[in-house]
Amino acid sequence: MTHNLEILNYKYMKRNLNDSNYLEYKPTVEHFLETEELNRINLNRKINIEGLNKIFKDAQDSTKVKSLLKISKEEFESQKASFTDAFVGLSLHNLLRLSPSEASRPEVWNSLTYTGEEVLKYHLYRKNIELTEENKDLTLKDIFVSSTMGTIHQHNKISWPWWVVEVTRNGSDYISSLDAFKSTTYFTTRYIQSFLLHQRPIAIALSQYFAEFDKEPRRFNKLRREVLATKGADGLGQYSVALKDYFIENRVFENIEYPKISQEKFQKWQESSSSFSFKSGPNDFEVTQETLDKLFKIFDDIGLKRGWIKTSA
Amino acid sequence: MSSIKSITKFDIFDSDIDVNILKLDNTKVSRQINSSWEKTHSQKKGHLNKFQEWKTVELQILGQVDAKSECDEAILKINCDWTNFYNQIKLNNIQKNKNEITFSTEYTLNKNLVSSEVTFSIDFLNKGKLVGESKRFSVFVDNRIKPDIDSSQFTWIFSEFDKDTENEIPAEYRALVQKEFNLRGHKPLSFFSTPDSENKLGIHVNLSFPGLDENLFNDNEHIPESLIGLRDLLEAYYRSNAYMVQFTNLTFLIQALAQADRKKYVEEKISEDELENRVVEAINNKFDSGSIGTSMELVNYLSSLIFPKEKNEKRRVYDWWKYAQENQQLLIERFNLSFQTVFNPLKKINLEEIIEDLMKIENSKNSDSEGEIIDS
């Protein structure tokens, strides 16, 4: 038997929760949205949440995180926050099987937060994960997803990793999503709302490109963090700005092959369930290796224009 | 579809886009649905949110460009910011006549992939070179408020300015609003708080103002058709002011940067090209910190509104700084016009319809009173 998510009334929460009462809030039946309201906001599908608490409990256990992501202790320690986000994003993507339309609703994420005690505990854990000084308390702002795009896509610590996974998965293949998280939280937070990441081929290619960027033998005389976060010699600011400029200027978008998305396959996936594996995503499209290779070449060329120097082939 | 006038400025020809509704959930649409859809055609808007539950919609997309452009390829771009959805497809069917070239395709949009506003636009190419860019056609698929950059740029805060309890106007602004501006017989409609490193620009709506209701702006509320015009006008007021505050706030920040470099330029120690590089670098450094309220992305975006004809992003940012030093008045003159390129009043405020509705109400009142027997 499955356990489905009850969707809470956004307006009630928005009006009544504040920093002094949000931790004590216990949703009751009166706060659940009725069918008619759910239809209106396209949230009428039953969303299975069996195992939700376990996901958030396991996310606070480094052994579980390393095991699911198949990463070493050293790798985990080097980017604790990013890999914890990866664990949450990938696990939620596999469990909830949300469509982008459903995931764009703040109601989904606010309802999840109040579904099990582990979710709130996780919010607190995530807030303090890399703090070396005194721990910080949660505030309502940390957990409540308001109806703005930035909060849903970029700021909330459970909705945002889901979106990272969604925009960077290559059909059923979640490896490129893990690559996105490997490319640091700078990449997953700063690039996620960029128009470039709306475009699946570019999002996947960028994730793979930066996940490998610092690997030995290094191909360029630059480190990933320098490339992502600092300006280049072309005066165009950060790499994301240069990329956008180059893509628009050279009309690159028109030469990229965009995959056809199969809704039938996506819905079939939504209606099924399975434990997580790196191939358990929806098989609704595929960006070919040929397309990705073309994009890698473009990324290299832009780098060279920005003053990177090749150190190996 | 409207006729096309050739502009030929910069070899860009005027063009047009049209989106027609064919089927909802694989069923041909009724005349009633079609006529409802056609209502907002001229404003390049389509309201799927008016129709009850549907899962897929089949649309016909038409693109027209002046025949002089010799366009040989048209690319349709579909975008939804709320769901990070983007797709582009080539329009295949081509018809030519003496005056124009028409491209068309049919496209099925699945509601699972989108929310709020989905935009359709077409790039027209001749041997790979851009010869025309259509306007955007916006399709609204549900009742969420329009997802302009506004929604990531601003926070709407509804509070009763007259009260001093928590959750009403924040304590830090209370003295200003309730004491300094407590002018007899006056009541503000709004207050705008400038963004700091963590907050976005706040649009504070005064719920103490008689008649103002939060539900009017709530995307989850079905507001009566007759109030939509009023809502749109109020929204224009709030957003216009918010933009003015945003432009001004950023101008203050930008203006103060690179002053040592400016001095060097005035003393002819560096060239203008060098100055431009240094200024843009200083602005990048200032705004690259990624704070929510004032990111470099926002500066770039707003610069494209202030200088809409300048295609070079770096130059636009430099021009903003330069005007802020020497020609503030010319910069200020651009602000309100810039806002209106985002909040396209022609698309968003159907003044004729609002007036027509009000006149109907007025006429029905008059005809009612004509039937009354007045005791003399």
Claim to verify: residue B169 and residue B199 sit in the same structural domain? yes
Helices and strands: H and E segment counts in chain B: 11, 14
In a domain? residue B186? yes
Task: Flag whether pLDDT at A235 surpasses 80.
Answer: no
Is A266 in the B-facing interface, judged by CB distances under 8 Å?
A: yes
Are B170 and B130 in the same domain?
no
Residue A194 makes CB contacts below 8 A (sequence gap 6+) with A240, A244, B297
Residues B155 and B133 in one domain: no
Residues linked to residue B120 through DSSP beta bridges, in sequence order = B78, B137
| Domain identity same for B306 and B199 | no
Residue B38 lies inside a defined structural domain of this protein? yes
Q: What does residue A280 show for φ and ψ, rounded to 5 degrees? A: -95, 10
On whether both B283 and B319 belong to a single domain, the answer is yes
Instruction: Please report the pLDDT score of residue B148 as a whole number.
Output: 39
Q: Residue A146: closest CA among chain B residues belongs to which residue?
A: B155
Of A41, A155, A166, the CB nearest to B142: A41
> Which residues from chain B sit within 8 angstroms of residue A10, using beta carbons?
220
- Residue A228 pLDDT: 84
DSSP structure string for chain A: ---BPPPB-HHHHHHH--TTTTTT----GGGBPPHHHHHHTT--S--B-TTHHHHHHHTT-HHHHHHHHT--HHHHHHTHHHHHHHHHHHHHHHHH---HHHHT-HHHHHHHHTT-HHHHHHHHHHHTTT--SS-----HHHH---SSHHIIIIISTTHHHHHHHHHH-BTTB-HHHHHHHHTHHHHHHHSTTSGGGGSHHHHHHHHHHHHSTTPSSPSBSS-HHHHHHS--TTS--SHHHHHHHHHHHTTGGGGSPPPPP-HHHHHHHHH------TT-S--S----HHHHHHHHHHHHHHHHHTT--B---
One-character DSSP codes across A114-177? TT-HHHHHHHHHHHTTT--SS-----HHHH---SSHHIIIIISTTHHHHHHHHHH-BTTB-HHH
Query: In this model, does residue B147 exceed pLDDT 50?
Result: no
CA pair distance B12, B125, nearest whole angstrom: 10
- Residues B258, B228 share a domain: no
pLDDT single digits (tens) B276-333: 989 998 888 787 654 545 677 788 889 989 998 887 888 999 999 999 998 888 899 9
Residue-number span of the structural domain to which B191 is assigned: 150-235
Give residue B198's pLDDT.
52
* Strand bridging mode B201-206 / B190-193: antiparallel
Total domain count for chain B? 3
Nearest Cα of chain B lies from the Cα of A73 at a distance, in angstroms, of 30
pLDDT tier for residue B219 given thresholds of 50, 70 and 90 = low
**Confidence (pLDDT) at A130:** 77
Contacts of residue B288 in chain A, CB cutoff 8 Å?
Answer: 229, 237-238
Q: pLDDT, tens digit, for every residue of A43-67?
A: 999 999 999 999 999 999 999 999 9
Chain B residue with CA closest to A190: the answer is B290
Say whether B266 sits in a helix, a strand or coil: helix
Nearest CA in chain A to B85: A198
Chain A interface mutation, best of B54, B108, B112, highest count of A Cβ atoms under 10 Å: B112
Provide the shortest C-alpha distance from residue A246 to chain B (in Å).
Answer: 11
Q: What is the ipTM of this complex?
A: 0.91
Last residue of a domain, which of B105, B140, B175?
A: B140
CB contact under 8 A, B281 and A235: yes
**Contact A237/B280, CB-based, under 8 Å?**
yes
B113 and B87 co-located in one domain: yes
Write down how long chain A is: 313
Same domain, B220 and B253: no
The verdict on residue B2 lying in a domain is no
- With CA atoms as reference, report the closest residue to A108 among A10, A240, A227, A190: A10
Task: Compare CB distances from A253 to B88, B112, B114 and report the shortest one's residue.
Answer: B88
Instruction: Determine whether the interchain pair A167/B277 forms a contact, defined as Cβ–Cβ distance below 8 Å.
Output: no
pTM for the model: 0.69
Task: Tell me the CATH number at B118.
Answer: 2.60.40.10
Tell which residue, B109, B106, B107, B137, has the closest CA to residue B121. B137
Q: pLDDT tens digits, residue range A256-278? A: 889 999 999 999 999 999 999 99
Cβ–Cβ gap A236/B84 under 8 Å: no
B160 plus B127 within the same structural domain:
no
Mean pLDDT of chain B: 82
Encoded tokens for A80: 């604790």
Instruction: State whether A235 and B292 contact (CB < 8 Å).
Output: no
How far apart, in whole angstroms, are the C-alpha atoms of residue B61 and residue B18? Answer: 6
